[in-house]
Amino acid sequence: MTEWLKAAGASEVWGGAFTPSPAASHSFGGSRMGDDPATSVVDKWGFAHEVPNLAVLGGATFPTSGGRNPTGTIWATAWRTADYLVSNWKQIAA
């Protein structure tokens, strides 16, 4: 597994057994949230900078994991994005 991480560009890799468990893992950081399209994938509402009408609703918008289970925060950000979508439907769907 460490070879794969190095090939993907990891600057530091710790050895040891690594077996991902889909039932107990959360993925973070694949679609970073931010205002600048050069350094982020989605805006503050979770909508992609480069793909119209695409929202990312999950932990992928988080830069890293926090100290607790992220499920509540993921629900809250998904609800916030959905609420924004409903409130701004005419602008977004145009």
Can you tell me the distance from the alpha carbon of 29 to that of 75, in angstroms, rounded to the nearest whole number? Answer: 17
CB–CB of 53/86 below 8 Å?
A: no
30 or 16, greater pLDDT:
30
Residue 16 binned pLDDT confidence (cut-offs 50, 70, 90)? low
Domain residue spans of the chain: 24-93
pLDDT one-digit tens code per residue, 17-75: 655 555 555 578 788 899 999 999 999 999 999 998 899 988 888 877 777 788 888 89
pLDDT number for residue 20: 57
* Block residue for tokens 């993925």: 27
pLDDT of amino acid 26: 58
Name the pLDDT band for 87 (thresholds 50, 70, 90). Answer: very high
Q: Which residues are catalytic?
A: 26
